[in-house]
């Protein structure tokens, strides 16, 4: 009796001791992370001002200095930080010119192709460090041709021109930016028979709509001389190392092989200002363009041509194998150091980069500083957190792609999720995209953070009020550094930002002044809306015993998308029954693993101290982590083998857009054009491929061999 009483007393005393002296629960630290006591608006403002004091394109000394700043900041946060370098092919403008002959009777006009400094510009002393306006990886050459106006340069725009009887062959097209990726604008022009392409920013889209509208620095709009530069490369990573890392002394394909790959344009192109674009538009005759092809209220009437205006476009670029630098910071997990939660943002910018990308870099450093404060309070992550600051994203997601390709197998077996922030802040309104199993987690994080523009509500409440379509977008497009993680190796991913598009994108006017006046005047959006949500999602993925994934959301999404495709070709004899069967199996497996998670939680208590329960939790989490990998196929998409994911990928004609079931979608487009039995047979084959991938994912979730 005394022994029993003593044992009971010892158990009670031990329990009391554990409760009294054990560290706070992880949820305590998560709440602390998003509290106002840890955020620092002045610090984030300082980071942004420092990072954007000079233009810092990839491969430049200024960008190397920015890398050093990120490295030193992470190190100061007691985070183990290092630089990973790659030698990659980058291009820079060597010479360029553009001349317009409005008509045979008029003298030629030579454009100066310069973005103008504004009165009081605080960056006037370093403006000459901004690269001359160009397209990265543009084809060098000299072309002459009459101009054809092609609206946004989409495939359907060329279809409209064909219906109007306009022949594009041998012309130089003039396209306005805004609906599709600029690289696809150039590619579509080439496929239509054009010899060159000019891309301008229309006042209707970026200049405030004309009329009495003011522009930067008086308002947020793009000045008339502003030019949106950028890459026209349609691949990912270094073009000379397709599929493998650009490490020192590595194998490289030749420039001729790069050009034959189909990922770089085969005609010269150039970005130009809205003012220059309007001058060229005034020289175009022919039929009047459709109403929805027209410009702002005081713009000239847009006609389609060809001519009589003729342009002479000359561009010569230099190709350089340059060193780029990814900055990596690691906070090692205590219980599961071999499971990685990865946060990433890129550092390189075409010009000053206050919005794109260094609002995100400043937010990344803010997250790092808050994590340091948590560590001082006793927090230690369960899983490893990796903070990544990528280089050369603007050229083709290069830094992140090279790192993923170099670490492919390790990441495929250990990465829990990748969380991306590119342009953290460009205005009001929260936006998030991700793979469906992260939907609930993103919503829950947004429900915990106060809306910076309205203290009476949460970000989630603002979010649902301002969204007309689906709340959370998807990540099939190749618009930022999540691409290699999700689309190449199948790591669950999310991307978030505050604000949508912004008028001075990729121009000389994306500077600290624009951000301070129009993007985030007191830097509260950057801190509260991005760093808080971003960090909170990361903390929950890193700390929670059970990974907060819900694949039932995935199954529901796949069901809807499959039904849409089936309805689109209901008269073509294609059966989707294998896919629907696999989706049902995925739904069952998702419900089963959710129930298993619940059962383990309910059975816990003192038994949780047993090793067997730790093994069960680890095994269940591995199934949740690895299910996304099963949606990939080692052969990749037809004619796009780098993209391995069979559920999401970029649209074939818009690298920034995405399509669900991309292999099926590509095959349907081809079959509609050819309308042969063989082409429709390929569609059926692609349905089977996706059905097999979805079944593989359900088997992974189920965790049992057949």
**Which residues are annotated as catalytic?**
393
Q: From CA 444, how far away is CA 457, in angstroms rounded?
A: 14
Beta bridge partners of 101: 310
Q: Which of 602, 589, 597, 623 is nearest to 698 (CA)?
A: 589
Residue pair 346/357 in contact by the 8 Å Cβ criterion: yes
Kind of pairing between the strands at 230-231 and 493-498: unpaired
Helices (H), 393-493: 393-396, 398-406, 408-414, 439-448, 459-466, 482-483, 489
Radius of gyration of the chain (CA): 27
Long-range pairs of 292-298 with CB within 8 A, sequence gap ≥ 24: 293/149, 293/151, 293/157, 294/204, 295/202, 295/203, 295/204, 295/210, 296/202, 296/203, 296/204, 296/207, 296/209, 296/210, 296/211, 297/209, 297/210, 297/211, 298/210, 298/211
Residue pair 487/643 in contact by the 8 Å Cβ criterion: yes
Residue pair 322/158 in contact by the 8 Å Cβ criterion: no
Instruction: Dig out the tokens for 99 from the structure.
Output: 């001349």
Residue pair 495/422 in contact by the 8 Å Cβ criterion: yes
Q: From CA 127, how far away is CA 55, in angstroms rounded?
A: 8
Q: Which of 657, 636, 661 is nearest to 564 (CA)?
A: 661
């Amino acid at each position: 009796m005394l022994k029993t009483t003593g044992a009971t007393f010892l158990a009670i005393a031990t329990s009391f001791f554990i409760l009294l002296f054990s560290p706070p629960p992880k949820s305590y630290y998560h709440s602390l992370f998003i509290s106002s006591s840890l955020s620092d608006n002045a610090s984030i403002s300082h980071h942004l001002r420092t990072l954007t004091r000079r233009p810092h394109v990839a491969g430049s000394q200024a960008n190397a200095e920015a890398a050093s700043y990120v490295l030193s900041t992470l190190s100061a946060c007691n985070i183990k930080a290092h630089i990973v370098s790659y030698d990659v092919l980058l291009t820079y403008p060597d010479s360029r010119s553009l001349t317009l002959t409005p008509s045979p009777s008029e003298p030629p006009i030579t454009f100066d192709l310069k973005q103008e400094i504004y009165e009081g510009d605080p960056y006037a002393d370093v403006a000459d460090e901004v690269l001359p306006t160009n397209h990265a990886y543009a084809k060098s050459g000299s072309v002459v041709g009459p101009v054809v106006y092609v609206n946004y340069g989409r495939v359907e725009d060329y279809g409209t021109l064909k219906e109007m009887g306009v022949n594009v062959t041998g012309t130089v097209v003039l396209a306005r930016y805004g609906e599709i990726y600029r690289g696809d604008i150039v590619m579509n022009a080439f496929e239509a028979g054009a010899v060159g392409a000019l891309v301008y920013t229309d006042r209707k889209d970026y200049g405030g709509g004309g009329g009495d509208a003011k522009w930067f620095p008086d308002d947020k709009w793009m000045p008339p001389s502003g030019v949106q530069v950028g890459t026209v490369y349609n691949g990912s990573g270094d073009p000379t190392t397709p599929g493998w890392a650009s490490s020192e002394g590595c194998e490289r394909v030749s420039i001729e092989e790069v050009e034959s790959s189909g990922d770089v344009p085969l005609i010269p192109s150039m970005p130009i200002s809205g003012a220059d674009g309007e001058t060229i538009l005034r020289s175009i005759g022919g039929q009047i363009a459709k109403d929805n092809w027209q410009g702002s209220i005081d713009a000239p009437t847009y006609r389609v041509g060809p001519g009589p205006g003729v342009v002479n476009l000359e561009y010569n670029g230099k190709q350089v194998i340059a060193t780029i630098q990814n900055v990596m910071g690691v906070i090692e997990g205590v219980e599961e150091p071999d499971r990685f939660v990865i946060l990433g943002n890129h550092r390189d910018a075409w010009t000053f980069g206050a919005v794109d990308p260094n609002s995100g870099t400043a937010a990344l450093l803010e997250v790092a500083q808050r994590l340091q404060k948590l560590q001082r309070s006793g927090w230690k992550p369960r899983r490893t957190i990796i903070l990544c600051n990528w280089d050369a994203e603007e050229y083709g997601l290069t830094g992140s792609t090279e790192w993923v390709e170099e670490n492919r197998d390790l990441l495929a077996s250990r990465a829990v999720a990748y969380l991306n922030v590119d342009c953290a802040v460009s205005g009001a309104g929260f936006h998030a995209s991700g793979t469906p199993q992260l939907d609930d987690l993103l919503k829950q994080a947004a429900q915990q953070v106060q809306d910076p523009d309205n203290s009476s509500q949460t970000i989630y409440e603002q979010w649902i009020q301002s969204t007309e379509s689906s709340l959370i977008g998807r990540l099939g497009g190749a618009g930022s550094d999540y691409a290699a993680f999700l689309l190449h190796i199948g790591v669950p991913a999310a991307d978030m930002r505050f604000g949508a598009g912004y008028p001075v994108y990729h121009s000389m006017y994306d500077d600290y002044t624009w951000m301070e006046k129009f993007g985030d005047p007191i830097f509260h959006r950057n801190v509260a809306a991005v760093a808080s949500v971003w960090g909170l999602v990361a903390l929950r993925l890193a700390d929670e015993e059970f990974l907060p994934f819900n694949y039932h959301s995935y199954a529901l999404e796949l069901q809807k998308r499959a039904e849409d495709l089936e309805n689109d070709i209901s008269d073509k004899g294609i059966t989707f029954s294998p896919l629907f069967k696999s989706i049902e199996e995925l739904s069952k497996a998702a419900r089963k693993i959710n129930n298993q998670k619940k059962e383990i939680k309910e059975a816990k208590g003192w038994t949780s101290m047993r090793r067997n329960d730790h093994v069960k939790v680890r095994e269940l989490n591995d199934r949740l982590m690895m299910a996304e990998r099963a949606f990939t196929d080692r052969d990749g998409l037809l004619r796009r083998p780098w993209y391995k994911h069979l559920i999401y990928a970029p649209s074939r004609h818009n690298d920034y857009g995405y399509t669900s079931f991309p292999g099926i979608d590509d095959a349907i487009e081809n079959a509609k054009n050819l309308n042969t039995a063989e082409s429709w047979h390929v569609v059926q084959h692609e349905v089977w491929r996706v059905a097999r991938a979805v079944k593989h994912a359900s088997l992974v979730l189920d965790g049992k061999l057949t």
